[in-house]
Amino acid sequence: MSYKSAIDIYHNDLANLLKMLDVYVINYRNLVSTLNDINLNVLISKRKKRRAIKQVEELGCIIDVLLESICKVQQCYLRYVKMKCDVLCEIINWDFIKLEIEQELLLNLDTDFKHKFLSIYSPKGNSSIIDLK
pLDDT, tens digit (0-9, with 9 covering 90-100), for 47-58? 888 888 898 889
Q: What pLDDT, on a 0 to 100 scale, did the predictor assign at position 125?
A: 43
Amino acid at 77: Y
How far is Cα 120 from Cα 74, in angstroms, rounded to an integer? Answer: 39
Q: How many Cβ atoms sit within 10 Å of the Cβ of residue 109?
A: 14
Q: How many Cβ atoms sit within 10 Å of the Cβ of residue 74?
A: 13
Architecture in CATH of 1-91? Up-down Bundle (1.20)
Q: What pLDDT, on a 0 to 100 scale, did the predictor assign at position 114?
A: 61
Q: How many CA within 13 A on the CB side of residue 73? A: 17
Q: Is the pLDDT of residue 12 over 70?
A: yes
How far is Cα 97 from Cα 105, in angstroms, rounded to an integer? Answer: 12
Of 32-36, 56-60, 67-71, 103-107, which gets the smallest average pLDDT? 103-107
Q: How many Cβ atoms sit within 10 Å of the Cβ of residue 118?
A: 19
Query: Where are the domains positioned within the chain?
Result: 1-91, 92-133
C-alpha 64: how far from chain center:
21
Q: Do residues 27 and 59 touch, judged by C-beta distance below 8 A?
A: yes
Question: 24-42 pLDDT, tens per residue?
Answer: 889 888 888 888 888 788 7
Q: Which helix (H) or strand (E) holds 128?
A: strand 127-128
Q: What pLDDT, on a 0 to 100 scale, did the predictor assign at position 126?
A: 43
Q: Is the pLDDT of residue 81 over 50?
A: yes
Mean pLDDT of 90-117: 73
* Whether the model pTM is above 0.85: no
